[in-house]
Structure 1
Amino acid sequence: MKILVVEDNHDLALSTQEFLLREGYICEISASYTETVEKLSIFTYDCVLLDIMLPDGNGLEVLDMMKSEHQNTNILITSAKNSLDDKITGLEGGADDYLTKPYHLSELNARIRTIYRRKTLQGSALLRFNELELNTNTFEAFVNGQLLDLTRKEFDLLLYFIINKNRVLSRQAIATHLWGDYTDDLSNFDFVYQHVKNLRKKISQAGGNDYVTTVYGMGYKFNANETGK
């Protein structure tokens, strides 16, 4: 999961990022309204941790912008302001949850996972597609009940494919989703090919169907209608 932490408190932003990285997330930081709007216009995120009070603007204005542009991103407002009006405004404006600072990082993680399950996985930690089953709590994947020996990146790649089944995903989109925004400056994405190849091989060796097709010149597609080639 790829997360943007919008927080102008440098120490809090770094501690939150370090914690989320240890939990296996891809995590970027933004310290201002201007930087946040720029990042959201260029990159996509699974979840945005959005502070209300920013040095050059208001987090609620970021929320309004995201909703007006129909960005399908989970939004968790984090603010030291324990104002009922702000909480109501944020939730009615489209935020998925509201967490008042200071908070425990373990609670933040639980809130993020709950939002993701509710919006993306229909409230369940288990994602099933034909013979494939993924457990997003334990990061385990199975083929007909047989546990696959996947790396964390391979698990995240398979989850990304299934959630976006029947959509063409460019190698750059896959790289950015799994490794972060810095990949935007890379000259090639050959490492994506190797990860896709390894994932397909492990699924096939376990007796699963190969749903991933190569769309030449564009990227990859998880074809839910037939096996891949």
Structure 2
Amino acid sequence: MSNRFIQKLRGFAALDAAEIEALLAATSTPRTLAARQDLIREGDRPGPVFVVLEGWACRYKILPSGTRQVLAFLMPGDACDLHTGLIAEMDHSIQAIVPAQVATISRGDMDALMARHRGIANAMYVSQLIDEGTMRAWITSMGRRTSIERVAHLMCELYLRARNIGLTQASQLELPLSQALLADSLGMTPVHLNRVLKTLRSAGAMTLKRGSLLITDPAKLVHIAGFDENYLHRRLRSTNADS
């Protein structure tokens, strides 16, 4: 299925034909965003639910010093801000990393979809819970993992998330994230990140270059990261996909 949003939701709940048709209609007119174009900015009034259909985006926050912290990476199929309509203003910004196709579903339309279609509601709630689990994994990395563990853990996560929606080829993933952007997500300087990437490459675990991630030894990378995929709930995905 070419609509990765529907593909992702089908991994979380069984969707019938009417639910799939409703999701197709809701995402049928995406808008094109340029690289580095903001979908919404901190301080803005919350708007619709954003659905990334093609391209990558990120959540980020700018500190008073001007430095940036990347809070999450969004890839094709990801939706964001299901419940932000309950708050007065955004506490972070969302930006396209590369040219992207993003559908917007109004708050009223999303509420109606979830009220009429139980499968869509269940899938959206599971998706949000997994997003929250991913945030907890990032907090754990920032607080307790060493630099090399932190980098290895993020690479495992991004590869697995991308593989779940068919973006990988064997052990390789096109990763349109600059070292500066990755450094901002990992709480490192680009220089420090570059040293860690060289260490991982020398260890034979992975190679990151020219927008491409190659995992040369998955078992070694998982071991270095201490990676446990349970927060991504792939077992749930597999069970629903087979039903």
Report if TM-score (shorter chain) is over 0.5.
no
Q: Which has the higher contact order (CA 8 A, sep 6+)?
A: 2
TM-score for both structures, normalised by structure 1:
0.35
Q: Which has the higher helix share?
A: 2
TM-score for both structures, normalised by structure 2:
0.33
